[in-house]
Structures are given as C-alpha cells and as structure tokens.
Structure 1
Amino acid sequence: MPTAYLAGYPPNLTEPVARLLEQGRLGEALRKKYPEAHAVRTDRALYDYVQDLRGEFLRNAPQPSKIVFDGKLQSVGRALGTHTRVARVQGGKLKTKHEIRIAAVFREAPPEFLRMIVAHELAHLKEAEHDKAFYQLCRRIEPDYHQLEFDLRVYLCHLATGGEGLWPAMSGLRHPA
C-alpha cells in the first residue's frame, strides 16, 4: 500500500484500507460513500467557489489574485493544493499577492473533497503553519475536515495502485430528463 499517503495514521485505520485494496474493492467503497462528483469544472467556477467560501468564513482574509486547477501539481508529492505568497515592491510599498492552486486530479472528485482542499488552502490565508490554530480554522470551514482528509488520502492510495478515477467528468451531475 502506498504508505506515504497514510503515514502517521494508526493501524486500526490503515489496515481496513489495505484489506479493501488487496480485495480490489477500495474504489467501490469510496464510490458508495461519495457517489457524486462536484460541479466545479472550470477555473472561473473554482474562483467563484473559493471566493464564496472565503466570503462566508474569512471576510477579512487577503484576496487571492489567482485561483486555478493546476495540471502541474502532483498529489504524489503529498500536495493536494498550494497557497503561495508572492511579495513585490511596487512604488515603494511591499505588495503581497496570494495564489491558490488545486491539483487538477481533483477537478473530478466529490464535492466533499473539493471543499476540504479549499478549506485547507483558505486557512493558509490566515495561518501559515500547520498548527493547532490552522486546523481549528480548517474545521470551522469544514467540520468533517479530518475525516475528509483521510478519505481523500485513501482515494490517492487507490489511484497510486493503478486504480482509475472514480468520478469521471460530469458523472455525478444530474441532467434534466
């Protein structure tokens, strides 16, 4: 099992994942728990989604200048998304720009996973370090943050062992009959 994704989790959580993986049923279990894909498909839709959450939970946080799905981000490096601060001097003042990039693999994921990743990146607008205050803010934005992070890492184990994407583009969207 690709342990990098579940490093630090206790055996009582990782052993059932390993068993499902060995049985070839991990994808099936994830699809049962998270049956639908989110509807955020474009960078513009992602920008609006992130800004809505920022407005609801972090009104006083800095405004990100760029919010995109990034095809170059590899979740293999344990990065689900990135938040960067770029400081530049403009007219004698130091200006800081914030960018949020979400790994493109999550363009096709359940809405719960996207919200968890966005909560994480938004929390970085206020808290730089992964400390207690950071995770409290993540849980304020997404109360099930820790469970969703674990489940998302389980999904990455599925992908890393050759499993196919479980939520192909538009599969979870309901179309009028």
Structure 2
Amino acid sequence: MKTLKYLSAYPEHIQQRVIAMISAQQLGPLLAQRYPNQHGIQTDKMLYDYTLSIKNEFLKNAPAISKVIFDSKIKDIQHALGTHTQISRIQGNKLKAKHEIRIASLFKNTPPEFLKMITTHELAHLKIKEHNKAFYQLCQHIEPQYMQLEFDLRLYLTHLEHQASLA
C-alpha cells in the first residue's frame, strides 16, 4: 500500500506509522479493541428515528428533515460517505425546502461511534453548509469526540481497503 487515500491530508509521520501498523497487522486488532461493538440500526426507519433524536437534542431550531436513508449508491470513491441535500420547490407563492440525508450503506456494519460521527456531520450541514471552523465546532458540540472519531473512521476505511486488496 503506497498511498493512504483516506489519510492523505495527514502528516507524513502519521501515514508512516499507519503503514507500519498495517505491515505488522496491528491496525485491525487496534480498531477492534477500541470499537468492539456494532450498532443495531439496520433499516431506514431506524436510521431516521436515530438521526431525528440527535437533531432534536442538539439542533432544535434547524430545518426539518424529510428523509434519512442508507444509500448503497454512495461510494467513498466519490469522496462522500454521506450527503445532505436540500430540494427547493415552489408551492403557491412560497418556497419550500426539503432536507434529505443519505448515509453510505457501509455504516450498517460499523461501530455505533462511526454512525454517530457521520450522522453528526450530515446534521451539522443543516446549519452550516461549508466545512469551516464553525462547522467543526458544531460537530464537536454534538459529538465531543468528533475529531478523534473522524480520524479513527479514516483508519477503519484504510483497514477495509487493505483487507479488500488482500482478497
């Protein structure tokens, strides 16, 4: 594994450490020890309820969400693990917006912390569209461990990619 596409924005010394862990077959066991559980959210209805509960706790004044689904068409190759879309329609003389969140199907089989991280990320887009300092502060307000979870998710995706290359 020459390049670590999920970790390409991180410093070289971190990438080298991850490569060494992969070579020593330590990355998988580390992630399994750190995140031993899997969540039970397997349907779109369960995902919608889960997302709505987080929204209601932290983003009460944010726009309503009309749909939240697991989407098998989202591929990490498109540099997305989830999407937030706003569909605007004119109804009479009013402009109505529907907000939809789609989360990659791979999150059906991840630790609950990773599902919360990606859900938090997409919910934050209800308030802030760009990935700026305020956006990440909001993510950390919703999930205090957001930054660590994002990094660990990148490690997890790197591990999955490496396992797939061995098969």
TM-score, length of structure 1 as denominator length = 0.88
- The match for 2:151 is 150
Q: How does 1:4-15 map to 2 (within 5 A)?
A: 4-15=5-16
By how many angstroms is 1:158 displaced? 1.1
Report the Cα distance in structure 2 between the residues aligned to 1:76 and 1:20, rounded to whole angstroms: 24
Q: Which amino acid aligns with 1:58?
A: L
Report the Cα distance in structure 1 between the residues aligned to 2:164 and 2:113, rounded to whole angstroms: 20
By how many angstroms is 1:162 displaced? 2.8
Runs of 4+ aligned residues of structure 1 deviating over 3 Å after TM superposition are none
Q: How does 1:97-136 map to 2 (within 5 A)?
A: 97-136=98-137
Higher relative contact order (CA 8 A, sep 6+): 1
Higher helix fraction (1 or 2): 2
| Stretch of structure 1 that moved more, 17-26 or 118-127 | 17-26
- Percent identity, aligned pairs only? 53
By how many angstroms is 1:56 displaced? 0.3
Residue deviations 1:24-60 (CA, integer Å, cap 9, x gap): 3321211011001012111111001000000000000
- The match for 1:171 is none
Structure 2: 5+ residue runs without aligned partners?
A: none
- RMSD over aligned Cα atoms: 1.4
Report the Cα distance in structure 1 between the residues aligned to 2:76 and 2:27, rounded to whole angstroms: 19
By how many angstroms is 1:95 displaced? 0.9
By how many angstroms is 1:131 displaced? 0.5
By how many angstroms is 1:85 displaced? 0.8
- The match for 1:51 is 52
TM-score, length of structure 2 as denominator length = 0.93
Q: Indicate how the Cα distance of structure 1 residues 100 and 125 shifts in structure 2: closer, same or farther if over 3 A, else same.
A: same
2:126 is paired with a residue whose SS is: helix
Q: Does the aligned pair in 2 maintain the 1:88–1:95 contact within 8 Å? A: yes
Q: Does the aligned pair in 2 maintain the 1:116–1:149 contact within 8 Å? A: yes
Structure 1: 5+ residue runs without aligned partners?
A: 165-177
Number of residue pairs aligned between Structure 1 and Structure 2: 164
Q: Does the aligned pair in 2 maintain the 1:5–1:78 contact within 8 Å? A: no
